[in-house]
């Protein structure tokens, strides 16, 4: 009888652990996340960002290898701190936002690194009418409670793409032969996301 009880207890424990290992869906918090890029302009690096984006991360926070990331960026939200430059970047010679208003990413593979807190994420990136496979280095920042009973995760993803691979090849040549813009674009996606499992706290009762 004792063996039966012990076996039942072990099975229950395993069942609980299995339930806890189920992947959780986290929604990207745009207020505490950023989508930034850097490119060479003349003799130095210049940075910009996109202010409107959305995405989801599905993972078991205790198993980084289970991670799946999807995201969408509103090209019209590009911000380089100069309205005229923003308008130029939205034109057909760059992003052609009128015909291609969104950029999208979907991960397809996660390869863990030895430290257990970072990984190489392979995925499909779509810009304009081109979709290319890209690799991003991911660092897991952590998992824990937020301020409103929800749970949150933090990720930083970095990578570099060749802009001409996506049909963004506009350039000019200086008198010394140097191209105005570099070919490589460095991307940094700082992601904070909250789970959709924990119930949101009830709104305070209105005073009568």
- CA distances 48 to 121, 146, 157, 188, Å, are 23, 29, 16, 11
Among 20-24, 61-65, 200-204, the range scoring the smallest mean pLDDT is 200-204
How confident is the model over 137-191, as pLDDT tens digits? 999 999 999 998 899 999 999 999 999 999 999 999 999 999 999 999 999 999 9
Q: Is the pLDDT of residue 9 over 80?
A: no
pTM: 0.84
How confident is the model over 50-95, as pLDDT tens digits? 999 999 999 999 999 999 999 999 999 999 999 999 999 999 999 9
The rounded distance, in Å, linking the Cα atoms of 95 and 101 is 8
Question: What per-residue confidence (pLDDT) applies to 199?
Answer: 54
Closest CA to 135 of 115, 164, 102, 158: 158
Q: Which domains does the chain have, with CATH numbers?
A: 24-195 (2.40.128.110)
Question: What per-residue confidence (pLDDT) applies to 189?
Answer: 98
Closest CA to 149 of 201, 197, 193, 195: 201
């Amino acid at each position: 009888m004792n063996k039966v009880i012990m076996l039942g207890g072990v099975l229950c424990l395993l069942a609980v652990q299995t339930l806890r290992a189920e992947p959780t869906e986290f929604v990207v918090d745009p207020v505490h996340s950023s989508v930034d890029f850097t490119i060479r302009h003349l003799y130095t690096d210049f940075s910009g960002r996109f202010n409107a984006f959305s995405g989801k991360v599905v993972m078991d926070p205790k198993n980084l290898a289970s991670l799946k990331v999807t995201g969408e960026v509103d090209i019209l939200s590009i911000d380089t701190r100069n309205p005229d430059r923003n308008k130029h970047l939205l034109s057909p010679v760059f992003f052609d936002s009128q015909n291609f208003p969104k950029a999208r990413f979907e991960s397809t593979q996660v390869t863990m690194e030895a430290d257990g807190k970072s990984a190489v994420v392979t995925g499909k990136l779509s810009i304009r009418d081109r979709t290319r496979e890209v690799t991003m280095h991911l660092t897991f920042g952590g998992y824990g409670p937020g301020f409103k009973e929800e749970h949150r995760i933090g990720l930083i993803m970095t990578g570099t793409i060749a802009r001409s691979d996506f049909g963004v090849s506009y350039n000019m040549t200086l008198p010394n032969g140097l191209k105005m813009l570099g070919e490589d674009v460095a991307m940094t996606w700082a992601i904070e996301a909250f789970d959709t499992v924990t119930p949101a706290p009830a709104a305070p009762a209105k005073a009568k």
